[in-house]
Structure 1
Amino acid sequence: MDDNFSLSNKVKDRYKKMYSGMFYKRYVSGLWCLAEGVIYDMFNEDIHKVDTINRRYEKYYVSIDYGTQNATVFLLWGLYEGKWYIVKEFYYSGRNASIQKSDVEYSKELKNFLGNIIPIKIIVDPSAASFITQLRDDGFKNVLKAKNNVLDGIRTVASALNLGIFYVNDICKETLKEFSSYIWDPKKLDYGVEEVLKEKDHCMDAMRYFVYTILRYDVESNYDDSVYEKGKGVNRLKVNDAYRKGGQIF
């Protein structure tokens, strides 16, 4: 980023606050390095976990990660004084409970979860076609398929955490637990492939659906393409090939 002479020091300082870990190395330092370890290493419970209190939320959204044997998660998002909060969560694992719920049952659970709240949009895992149909049949007219670009979504969530755009109420126990277990797949990294380890990631997926579908414009207004494009000139295939052969690119 320091090679971009069109950016003032004030602007550079703002960009530097957006990123940490892998994302800092790529978008600020211009290094093309592989990810490793915990994905949201910028998440800090002392900062991002907040007391569950009676805030006067101005508007609501819901984001949903849907599973059959895997867990199904509903996250209720509320806007208060310019900041977003994960207000509460619904978490049900058919595998853990040994009883799988049907689409009809999950639709009823969503009605109970919302109570009198009418969210602006219900953002749903785009692969959950039958559940989306069930919701619409049951009168939920504000259903929106989530944008599901995983790596860009993760980058956007990470930036949102660094910028203090959203927080998590302490009642959301499963969501808070997943921040520490949401990691890159170490076996895939051995081959230079960045993929999330698909375990204990359902709250994180629901969170990413909302942030990347709705909040990414708020995040992206804080930086310009010259920063995001930094380092993208490196051919990913060449990088992966170098790692497979034991080389390094920095």
Structure 2
Amino acid sequence: MTTQHLLDGLDDRSRHPLRPMANKVPEVTVLFWIIKVLTTGMGETASDLLARVLGPVPAVAVGGVALVASLAMQLTVRRHIAWVYWTAVVMVSVFGTMAADVLHVGLGVPYAVSTPAFLAVLAAVFVLWYASERTLSIHSVRTRRRETFYWAAVLATFALGTAAGDLTATAGLGYLGSVLLFAAAICVPALAHRFSGLDAVTAFWAAYVITRPLGASLADWMAVNGSRGGLALGLEPVTLAWTLAILGLVAYLAASQREGRVRAAA
């Protein structure tokens, strides 16, 4: 156990002496990244679908209420629960898309302006988080304050990724070109960590940001019509298919969690 882990543990016990909180973020595995990309794409098309069916203002209102409810549930539980955690991620994805779209469509803010603005917001969250906790590691999200910083960072990454993906798609690359760009870009943090000594925390958050435009561009490419360079599968089928994929994978994680607890108790 490292000195930092000991300090984190002492910090957690001082904040919650009677009921220490378990780490609230899932283990980062290949399955984690697959589900993360799926939630980004599903959030993109679901947001567009809600705006079309309900109208932009009611869609934002519904998305905001659902986001608050899902985050409240996530903050209430004292350990990682797969379906609670990933429900919150999905709602952050939906609302993060809406936030970026409202700025561009509703207020006329260009993506070239909103993208660096969301980047600045994310940087501010990281600066405040580190100044308060001296760590940005997701393996130490065991206090309410750290978890609040974590979800603020997650929301900022989704808004940033949405704006960045739309920026590249509308700047000439198109949706398929954006998919290829971000598929290559997401390999950079992993390779830098593996071969150039980039620390794990920086590599994680860099890849985390890129999952958003990658998944959103892929979902858009599948959904939009041929005149926009897409496969014309439609918002409803793509949203449904990606939702079912998320449900299946999260159900598998939940079952694995239960099996792990049973083994630990045996």
- The two structures have a TM-score, normalised by structure 2, of 0.23
Is the strand fraction higher in 1 or 2? Answer: 1
